Amino acid sequence: MRKATARAGSNIAFIKYWGAADPALNLPLNGSISMTLAHVHTTTTVEWAPRGERPVDTIVLNGLPLAPAQAERLVAHLDRIRALAGVDHRARVVSVNNFPTGAGIASSASGFAALTVAACRALDLDLSPTQLSALARRGSGSACRSLFGGFVEWRQGSSDADSVAAPLFPPDHWELWDLVAVVDRQEKPVSSAQGHRLAHTSPLLEGRLRQVDGWLAQVREAIAQRDIHSLGTVAELDALAMHSVMMTSTPSLLYWQPGTVAVLHAARAWRAQGIPVYFTIDAGPNVHLLCPADQVSALRERLASVPGVEQVIASGPGPGPQLLDAHLF
């Protein structure tokens, strides 16, 4: 038996990926830029055994075995890795998130990044970080960014080989923090994978896509200059534009909850008071607040008093995936 364990950070996208140009390969309609998170992560152990010793893949997430329908995307990803290695082994997978799963905090990004790294390491597949990024993208688009630490750009590309992520700046380039205001811990009723397929039905999609290249350029420069005002302004615009596409899709996607709106109004009120804080929202109800390190303590306290906020998760920029000696089983 071959076993390996990997930990990968989730990431928060400043310019987001929404909608697929090629759903089979998870090629995006636009490029994106994100920050890999240090304290929001998935830990995954993968153990391979010959088919005769283990007839099927078994997957346990957060202590609960997944039914075949729930595990379908994960098994398909294991199939890709089996094909690369030229084996028919079956896997035992145990995975744990230290944050709410499927709630708009990019658990699929950290999950597929950790699964990719652990499964390949356990089979002694010698893949470069760029190759691992392309492979992780097949499981979940945003997972390709979690293959690198710090500030990362996913280049849109036009093929399986060139639609990959690459690091822009290391974690220590900028002590920017993400405060996640959790207003709903439940798994969202419509997954991001399903939502991507609806993007083309929105009349607002093309308008957003026309803006993205300019926004990407502004974000690159803002990160280079450590300019939270420039970064935050465009991050808010892109988040609202993406959710506008969701809300005007057919059927409409409305992830927001009352707590979501309360946090948005609070962030704007605090900024009017001179506090450098900006919001962004992934595909879910929970809000990410971007701020400098010296504002984390005060903002955590403020967030805890906003109606609807159940939990606040704080993280600065973190490393790429790490292999661990301690296994989950």
Give the Cα separation of 182 and 161 in Å (integer).
Answer: 36
Angle CA 205–255–253, to nearest 5: 45
Q: How many residues does the chain have?
A: 329
Instruction: With beta carbons less than 8 A apart as the criterion, state whether 165 and 143 touch.
Output: no
Share of the chain above pLDDT 90, in %: 95
Please give the Cα distance from 181 to 138 (Å, whole number).
29
Question: What was the pLDDT predicted at 1?
Answer: 65
Positive or negative torsion for Cα 92, 97, 102, 105: negative
What tens digit of pLDDT does each residue of 70-89 get? Answer: 999 999 999 999 999 999 99
Average pLDDT over residues 241-270: 98
Average pLDDT, integer, range 93-122: 95
What is the rounded average pLDDT of the residues 228-233? 98
pLDDT reading at 104 higher than 90: no
> Is the separation of the CB atoms in 232 and 276 below 8 Å?
yes
pLDDT category at 50 given cuts 50, 70, 90 is: confident
The contacts of residue 173 (CB under 8 Å, 6+ apart) are 150, 151, 223, 226, 317
DSSP symbol at 164:
-
* Domains of the chain by start residue, with CATH: 2-171 (3.30.230.10), 176-315 (3.30.70.890)
Mean pLDDT of 38-43: 98
The pLDDT of residue 8 is above 90 = yes
Reply yes or no on whether the pLDDT at 93 is more than 80. yes
Q: Where are the beta strands (DSSP E) in 53-210?
A: 58-61, 64-65, 90-97, 151-154, 165-169, 176-182
Average pLDDT of every residue of the chain: 96
Q: What is the mean pLDDT of residues 202-217?
A: 98
Mean pLDDT score, 56-67 = 96
**pLDDT tens digits along 215-225:** 999 999 999 99
Whole-number Å distance between alpha carbons of 57 and 280 = 37
- 181 within 8 A of 290, measured Cβ to Cβ: no
Using the predicted structure, report yes or no on whether residue 62 has a pLDDT greater than 70.
Answer: yes
Which residues on neighbouring strands pair with residue 56, listed in sequence order?
Answer: none
117-151 pLDDT, tens digit per residue, is 999 999 999 999 999 999 999 999 999 999 999 99
Separation of alpha carbons 306 and 183, rounded Å: 10
The pLDDT of residue 204 is: 98
pLDDT of 103 higher than 70 = yes
**Mean pLDDT value of segment 175-199:** 94
pLDDT grade for 49, boundaries at 50, 70 and 90: very high
Residue range 270-295, pLDDT digits in tens: 999 999 999 999 999 999 999 999 99
